Amino acid sequence: MEYNNNMSTVSKGGTGQSSQIHLAGSWHGELNGGFSRGRRKSVAVAVLQEEDEERVLQETLKVAVSEMKHSKSGVSESDGNFFENFSALPKKQQSLQFRKNAGSSKENEQSEEDILNNRLDHPCKDLPHPTKKEILDLYRILVSVVYFRLGSVDQPFPAEQELYSYLHEMFNSHVSINEHNSMVLTVSKETHPDNILLVTVIEASHLVGKDINGLSDPFCVMGILPNGDSKKPFVTAPKTPNVKCPPHHSKDKDKHQHHSAQDLQSTTIIKEQLNPKWNENFRFHLDCSKANGWFHLDVWDHDEETSVLEVVKKSGEVQGIKGVKRLLKEVIQSTRLGGSNPDDFIGCVNIKLDTIPSWGLSGMYPLVSKSHRSKACGEITLKLKMSLQRANQSYQVLSPQTVHRVLWLHIVHHEVARLDQLGAWDGELPSKAMTILQQHAVQYEISALHQSLCRWLAYSQECTMCVIDFKSFFTYGETLRQSWTPYALSADEEQYLQKSFQSFITYGIDMLKRQQDMFPPTNKPAIRRLQYLLLCLAQINDMEFAERNALFQPSCQGVIIDAIKEDICNWYRKKHDEIVSQDDGTETITTLTSLTNAINTQAQRLLNFVHKTYQSVLEIQYFDIVYQELARILMVDVAKCLSSSIHSNHSLDDVEGEEYSQRSTALFMLYLALRDFVAFSEHLSERDQVNLEVKGYHKFFKRAVEKWLTVARVRAQERIKKAVELDQVALVDTMVKHSTSAVDVATCFAQIRHFWQQLDWPDTVGSYVFVAKVTDDICHGAVNYANIIHEKLRQNGYYDDEGQFDITDQLCIAINNIEQVRRSLALMPESLGWQRIQLAMEKEYGDTAGEQCQDTLQTMMGSADEDMVNVIDHVVQHVGERMRPDFRRFLRSLLNAKIQLQIDDAIDPLMEYLDTNIITLHNCLLRTNFDRILRDIWIVLVNELNSVIKDNNKIITGKPLLFCRIQETLEILAHLFHADGKGIPLATVRNATFNQLKTFVESNVADTIEVIEEFYAQKIQVVNESIEKKTEAEFGTLAVKCYYNDITNKLCVLLINGSNITPKDKSGTSDPYVILRLEPSFVFPKSPSQKSSIVKTTLHPLFDEKFEFPVTRDQCRHKGACLHLIMYDHDIIKSDDLEGETFVALDDIPGIKKAFSHDFSALKSVTLPLLIPEENNHSPFLLSSLKSRTTDSVAQEFAKKRSQLLKIAK
């Protein structure tokens, strides 16, 4: 329905009625107490107050529809709710989709436990099976690792016994308790291995510039101190840039700082840098005396040996005051030390060895100075890590890397075996396991790459892949990727890694092939797991190792896309079999609809929750792939089902009644489901949308739509007849009445439009045929409804002419009903998409075809609208005709009433009659219909008043008081019908008949002088209107120039020429001349008329004559003052013939309103139309009024003069 269902309900009577009803009541109250002209006007304004027409119509339809839904009128039930059922199909489809989406999180949704239990569970094949000797060797190594733990003094460790217990628990099937105790005892008697300090000098930053150019040539010298007290820095001998320099003793030896050349190590020299980068590794052997010492590092600026002369030559490189100071320093040092220029100290760092934890130290350390006299600036980035140097262990048969790998495998397998139930393990190991792994890696200097490799191999075992969360896999893979160095692994290690990657890829792809089960789209944790699985696959694919060993064939994206297709095809077949099995194992249109709806629901979920995951991780257009696969499979089943339905029990041919409704409902439900599925194609790329077969789904339903429109036309006509038959009056708005039939019919049309809108036929060009059919059906039904309502009025005696006519609710309701249904036609262009069809036709076949389609549809609607308006006009016009006899009776009574009777009392019967009927019209009619009928009543009323006055002319002539009553009557009626702009327009009120009546009445009320002045004023108005409108002059024209000479006080006239005058002689020409007069004559008593010369045998006379009239400005400004020009045809034998007359208003000529100091040459000529007295006399009442004044000589003289002129004209 297009009606606004959010409008507020209007109260029905009582205190809820509008103020207009109360004012209408007060109108009747004032009638009973006497009616004054002022009161009449105010009440008319209130009663005719303008309504918001659209609001009234919308509320009318809205409340009526609401009442119909709760009533049992029997209209919709008469055809089994045919239109309601089909109109509700889209809502039913939407409701179905909503219920599926609303319950998507629970309906057929697996629990987290079910999802995890469905994982592929492989037996453990990767756990190595070493020999007894290898096991014992491995176990002894691990016992040694635990016993000789490395770490800072304050580093928390699990208790030693806990570590031993964890080891034995892990290997209890291979190592007995006695063997364990024996190994612990043996290791405890061994000599403590020497500690090794591993140092990486990475970079320094913000160093102080020591050279005259503001830069430095930094290098580092480092060593181990027994304690942290170093009063003097390490010094070095001259060095070659970018090569390591062996340190030597300073000449100024100190007992606290005594080192051999082997004690100190240095980095390379970086020339001219304040932010040097080294990335150099150093190894320090720590004996027992140094185990608790300090790591000390000095940063120096290297200076080459140079003479004073060379130093002075550098003065050109000096920059700023600091540079000058450095230059002076170098000169002094070169002079004092005899050419020996030692390196400049920049800063140092001290780190206590027993603060280094097992995992090492890494960070940026600030440089400090040795004394208060020197200033240090900058930082240096270091990595420090402790290790052990064991004596030769001949019993060890496994390499440290192998031991570390096997250790990882056993620990992870041990932890998996301890899990209570299958779940998403994050891979976190207990502190005991992490301590053992870390200590082994540190003590045996296992590289970061090998550590990452061992951890990945351990976690990617087939027995553990099914329990470890993919987020953890991604973290392990990222660590491996960051530490990766091509060809850094042995052949065996690369083989292990390749096998591990292949196993993980196989497992991941198997999961993707079961994605709909393993990763339900509405399960957020499952989608997060899917995201990390894809990240892991992408991570492996991006590694150099994967490309070198071709782990994905043909490509990573290709393998995943194949898995996606297999997964969605399996889901489709599974869902298809599930739905078919619920419908007795037979595939029908209904089961196909259910399947399509299930696909739509799943497609929406995949689009919302899964597509962006694939797109962001792998740049795979997941939804495009899934949709195309679903579309391909679905169209096969649709074509198979619908093609067979044409010859099966699903066909609509030769089916009627309830069976047709059931079959067509099933078909259209399938259509709507397919329409919703096709709507998803908007999310595909333009390339993928091309040649998409599913977009042609509507072709299967063309015959069904044609059949439905044929049935709908018949059902609509039946419903219209039934609606009128069961018609009921319903007060919807306090000011508007209607009956249920209008709402029934408008609702029926709205349901037809709504059904077409919801079909949303994809083929816009092809839809023109259907839209034209829908338009024709609605138009035909609307016109049929109007004719039925009109005929019902006739049968109820509306056109009978017996007794006084009073407007009834039935009449207003009938008019409103037709108008409401007529207005519903205006909704068709937008709701049926006329503009869209026109544009499509223009694009396909050109502008002409599009315009023809639009014209055809507009013609259909325009023809129906015109037919319905004609019916309304026919009814409305008859209202006025029915009221005419009553108007005549009331107006005659008004004229025959005693003169002494007040106007309110005399007009009261007429006004009471108008009050009763206009109130009924205003309360019951829509605004449009109210304006129509009010306008027609006004025309009939004014015409009837004119007729009554003409019929009683002899009675009213010479009775000014009676004319005053008529004048007041006109004013009261005009105010009533106009109502200060809220009634009919003022132009309609002041029609030609009204103006003639007004002039006639005013002329009979005014004195003779005023009548004559008004006569000439109207003549001037006629001429001016003809000039403004450029109306063709039927009797010719006359050109003149006029101005007032204020020096001579004369009116100057130049008679120029005539044109196209009427031939009066037998020769076809005339002998024209012109008489010039100033009128009215009583205004210009001293200005006699003047005559021009006669121009022989011409229809275009040229006069070119000047005339002057002695007048004053005040005379020219008088009302009706004019120059009257009369053209005659001169005849010798008989009297002259009249060619025509014209008038020039004197108050408009130059020189009257303001001074004019020029002559005729400065003026433009004015062309005046010649008029015949009978043709231009718009006020016959003025002359008749003057003629009726038999005792007035002035009136008689004027009437006689005009009568003579009229006689000549005839």
pTM for the model stands at 0.62
The reported pLDDT for the residue numbered 146 is: 92
Name the pLDDT band for 580 (thresholds 50, 70, 90).
confident
* pLDDT of 845 over the 80 cut: yes
My answer on whether omega of the bond before 1085 falls inside 30° of 0, hence cis, is no
Helices and strands (H, E) in the chain, number of each type: 44, 18
The structure tokens 């100091």 sit at: 1157
User: pLDDT by residue (tens digit) across 409-457?
Assistant: 999 988 888 876 555 678 889 999 999 999 999 989 899 999 999 999 9
* pLDDT of 1196 over the 70 cut: yes
Dist. CA 560–CA 541, nearest whole Å:
12
* Whether the Cβ atoms of residue 40 and residue 911 lie closer than 8 Å to each other: yes
The reported pLDDT for the residue numbered 652 is: 54
Dist. CA 1039–CA 420, nearest whole Å:
120
* pLDDT of 1045 over the 60 cut: yes
Give the pair of three-digit tokens for residue 699: 């072709």
User: pLDDT by residue (tens digit) across 979-1019?
Assistant: 888 888 988 888 888 888 888 887 777 778 888 888 899 89
Q: CA of 732: how far to CAs of 56, 672, 736, 802, 1067, in Å?
A: 9, 36, 7, 32, 77
Residues 1130-1150, mean pLDDT to the nearest whole number: 91
Q: CA of 402: how far to CAs of 135, 399, 405, 409, 492, in Å?
A: 12, 5, 5, 11, 10
Share of the chain above pLDDT 70, in %: 77
The reported pLDDT for the residue numbered 327 is: 52
* pLDDT of 51 over the 50 cut: no
* Whether the Cβ atoms of residue 929 and residue 742 lie closer than 8 Å to each other: no
Give the pair of three-digit tokens for residue 1142: 């014209």
* pLDDT of 589 over the 80 cut: yes
* Whether the Cβ atoms of residue 167 and residue 143 lie closer than 8 Å to each other: yes
Lowest-pLDDT choice from 138-147, 712-721, 1062-1071: 712-721
Name the pLDDT band for 862 (thresholds 50, 70, 90).
very high
Give the pair of three-digit tokens for residue 1102: 């040229």
The reported pLDDT for the residue numbered 5 is: 37
User: pLDDT by residue (tens digit) across 766-813?
Assistant: 999 999 999 999 999 999 999 998 888 888 777 766 666 667 777 888
Residues 6+ apart with CB under 8 A from 412: 429, 458, 459, 461, 464
Name the pLDDT band for 572 (thresholds 50, 70, 90).
very high
Residues 653-665, mean pLDDT to the nearest whole number: 66
Name the pLDDT band for 16 (thresholds 50, 70, 90).
very low
Dist. CA 1110–CA 1052, nearest whole Å:
9
Residue length of the chain: 1210
Mean confidence (pLDDT) of the chain: 80
* Whether the Cβ atoms of residue 440 and residue 358 lie closer than 8 Å to each other: no
- DSSP track, 479-529: HHHHT--TT-S-HHHHHHHHHHHHHHHHHHHHHHHTHHHHS-TT-HHHHHH
Q: Which of 1127, 1209, 1204 is nearest to 1170 (CA)?
A: 1127
* pLDDT of 103 over the 60 cut: no
The reported pLDDT for the residue numbered 93 is: 59
DSSP 583: T
DSSP 429: P
Q: CA of 1159: how far to CAs of 1042, 1052, 1105, 1145, 1156, in Å?
A: 9, 9, 14, 19, 8
* Whether the Cβ atoms of residue 138 and residue 403 lie closer than 8 Å to each other: yes
Strand partners, 737: 731
- DSSP track, 166-187: HHHHHHTTTS-HHHHHHHHHHH
Residues 211-231, mean pLDDT to the nearest whole number: 80
* pLDDT of 406 over the 50 cut: yes
DSSP 191: P
Residues 6+ apart with CB under 8 A from 869: 822
* pLDDT of 109 over the 80 cut: no
Name the pLDDT band for 4 (thresholds 50, 70, 90).
very low
Residues 1098-1126, mean pLDDT to the nearest whole number: 94
